[in-house]
Structure 1
């Protein structure tokens, strides 16, 4: 952004600010970082990154900023990373794993906090989810209360943080969070493990539950802070920024698209209904805009007055203004997968949809388990390691974890979000767009599938022609195989039928 360009109200608010970001190795945190660097004249951005899986924090931070998400920014400002400072820490450790020097540095310099870090693995244990989603949030609130110049604090939750509710508004709900907080503060890990099934009763997984508990922590301990909560629905690839169709992470809806494109998944089990999804760049924009308005309100009210009110909540959803059904999403994505087939496909992409659990179990047994068993036998026969059954076990586990979100319907309100949109200037609404009415779903899904192909399958669009040739070959193999099976079943059935008839009537 050129210094001689007139700044918008949001840009002026964030000008020369110092930021603290968590979760920048994840999709949302990474895109929030990119958006801040591309849109604002910042002073400094401190990012919290931990050592993981044998890679140190510095390597992981460099890898995050070397991703394709920063491509457009890199072309404009090749040295953008000079404004970013690494803080080594860990959300699973007390005080986010910060040493005393870094903690004091953050407390004295940081003005804006964007807390994007969270455990979102639907199969995560209660312990892991509680440490990252609850304990880290509580510790960051304690640090924020000691910050000298804090202007805004944005916490990213999820609309499914109140999963047991059917009607969810932009407010806090009284559920069962207090028990977990007490266990985290006054008990050991063994007690947490022993009471996991009790605490998670009525919840689909530890992620949704701990996000609800984290919201309760914010509600109780964040009243004195200029704080707001963002609840996005299921996040999918970017609509426009930083690049069209950008996505990371093979899980949830993205995982379903990948497994279909590769020809691995043959069966989908869901109840057709409204599927609330939102492009990740829309979430990034509302994070920035809500942070601006929260800080602005805090300045207007004066220090301390905000302590009498609960932090505002903003839903970033699509079901109110521009709903999409699960059948529409499934149909369009499958059609587009066939338009740009991947050269990495294992089988011809095709699948069956069912809303009957018994049908789902039968079809997965025949089309997944039996097929995997036969393939593994063939691999053993040629001296290779049998891996197909393991692939399907992981697929079925991921489907099981995500299934609750496809079998249930909610009503989400978004009054606060609509009011926030109206408070923004026309220029800010262009720069930080989260108005779902501006989105063309048909065009979006075309780019979504291509984004999955490029960013998740690592298969460039230059190989589409080759992919179509492979798709035609797979189709012929499928036809020949199906014909062979039908003929074989016919012959076997005829032989068995004649034998049965012969035995029944031979005495006559």
Structure 2
């Protein structure tokens, strides 16, 4: 079977070589392809910067025994010394955060981790930070919290503030349950103590069923606003949205736009209608909106506008969030969403073409910049305190120094991985015909072959959708 598969691979690569799409040596393809089949499910092959925990060989950096001469992985490039400490008395924002108790929803997510880390690092006198955390895959919230706080994104923080965990308290809750799944005791603790709420929690899956997207992104926002209203010492409520929530507009101002549908009607509809009916009518409801994520995030903004009246609240709309630029670890990211997934897929030779205008502006913003803006927005909202209106802060790339999609091709060459499915080459194209042809040859055919082999090995197919 393997010999037969290699013959198919040889013919395929020979054809690709002769049309000059992917000049690659057949022998190299054999080696990488066979290694890929043997090790496809091994998580230790992922680049360190994409893991949620440190690779076993790199745990030694925690006890200071790692040196730049260690060749396991160039982790020193990501943990090298840089000025990420904060002048404790040099910022009005730091003074504002002192002794404040905070609630962060979605703290275990990508942005949530960075927000928590930044707050703990920038203000040693910060109060208690409560994080809502749910039971997942049979692991209870307390165990998940302990594992979460050992994530290597906190590695630099642990050097600066060894006792950082003392400021974090886990609150058991779940946005898919009424009342956020909070017990009366937990709700009482929050309403008595919390000064600042950062509502980061959301389902960011583009293909999320409408019912679940509404439950988390819209009803969840409604529930957290209700909790904010009950907080006796609330200074500010910050809702994280997205700059693409109104993607149907050519120019997106820092203003509210009419919702696609009344949020209360949508919530009632998703509760009353069966799942199969909702699935059938979803495309018609979305119309020109590309997915349920953007659909529900735009409607949740209207809900905030209606329900947060009288609260010191603001909305932040970041563009496409990518890896951190500097803090706390250069190039840190823990997911493969959006451009990150495309670049990683290209870096391992899995993806070779994407239907994007290479000269178009990539509205991508570093995650640490988003976090800094989020904290600054909360301070500005408190300082100006206009209870009659809810300010919106768009956070997009600079017009004076824009990032173009073609610039991301440089990143592909810099991403490291021990997995190489085939020779690394990647192109953007504006020609849909060319995209479909190349995608069929370089994506569809290899996917069918690999899934065929996986099935014969008794494993679950991964690549054919």
TM-score range, shorter chain: 0.7 to 0.9
Report the Cα distance in structure 2 between the residues aligned to 1:171 and 1:70, rounded to whole angstroms.
35
Q: Which runs of 5+ in 2 are unaligned?
A: 1-83
CA separation of 1:308/1:348 partners in 2, compared to 1, >3 Å: closer, same or farther? Answer: same
Residue number among 387, 395, 411 corresponding to 1:333 in the alignment: 411
TM-superposed deviation, 1:315: 1.2
Partner residue, 1:109:
193
CA contact (8 A) 1:43 1:83 kept: yes
TM-superposed deviation, 1:5: 4.8
Residue number among 201, 205, 228 corresponding to 2:287 in the alignment: 201
Report the Cα distance in structure 2 between the residues aligned to 1:378 and 1:4, rounded to whole angstroms.
57
Partner residue, 1:10:
93
Report the Cα distance in structure 2 between the residues aligned to 1:248 and 1:377, rounded to whole angstroms.
30
Report the Cα distance in structure 2 between the residues aligned to 1:248 and 1:4, rounded to whole angstroms.
28
The TM-score, its normalising length taken from structure 1, stands at 0.70
What secondary structure sits across from 1:275 in the alignment? Answer: coil
Deviation readout 1:132-162 (Å, 9 max, x if unpaired): 1110111111111121110011111000010
Partner residue, 2:434:
359
TM-superposed deviation, 1:250: 1.4
1:256 and 2:342 matched: yes
Report the Cα distance in structure 1 between the residues aligned to 2:260 and 2:341, rounded to whole angstroms.
31
CA separation of 1:222/1:78 partners in 2, compared to 1, >3 Å: closer, same or farther? Answer: same
**Larger Cα Rg: Structure 1 or Structure 2?**
1
Partner residue, 1:276:
363
Residue number among 307, 317, 332 corresponding to 2:396 in the alignment: 317
CA separation of 1:371/1:285 partners in 2, compared to 1, >3 Å: closer, same or farther? Answer: same
Report the Cα distance in structure 2 between the residues aligned to 1:101 and 1:258, rounded to whole angstroms.
44
TM-superposed deviation, 1:188: 1.7
CA separation of 1:374/1:5 partners in 2, compared to 1, >3 Å: closer, same or farther? Answer: closer
CA separation of 1:12/1:354 partners in 2, compared to 1, >3 Å: closer, same or farther? Answer: same
TM-superposed deviation, 1:200: 1.1
Q: Alignment length, in residue pairs?
A: 377
Deviation readout 1:299-355 (Å, 9 max, x if unpaired): xxxxxxx3422x1111111143321111222x2123324xxx422222111134322
What secondary structure sits across from 1:127 in the alignment? Answer: helix
CA separation of 1:4/1:278 partners in 2, compared to 1, >3 Å: closer, same or farther? Answer: closer
The TM-score, its normalising length taken from structure 2, stands at 0.76
Report the Cα distance in structure 2 between the residues aligned to 1:270 and 1:293, rounded to whole angstroms.
37
Report the Cα distance in structure 2 between the residues aligned to 1:134 and 1:378, rounded to whole angstroms.
42
Report the Cα distance in structure 1 between the residues aligned to 2:301 and 2:229, rounded to whole angstroms.
17
Partner residue, 2:251:
167
Q: CA RMSD in A?
A: 2.2
CA contact (8 A) 1:275 1:319 kept: no
What secondary structure sits across from 1:134 in the alignment? Answer: helix
CA separation of 1:386/1:371 partners in 2, compared to 1, >3 Å: closer, same or farther? Answer: farther
More helix by share: 1
Report the Cα distance in structure 2 between the residues aligned to 1:37 and 1:363, rounded to whole angstroms.
48
Alignment of 1:105-504 (within 5 A): 105-178=189-262, 180-185=263-268, 187-190=271-274, 192-193=278-279, 195-272=281-358, 273-298=360-385, 306-309=386-389, 311-329=390-408, 331-337=409-415, 341-375=416-450, 384-385=457-458, 390-393=461-464
| More divergent stretch after superposition (192-201 vs 129-138) | 192-201
1:63 and 2:147 matched: yes
Report the Cα distance in structure 1 between the residues aligned to 2:368 and 2:114, rounded to whole angstroms.
7
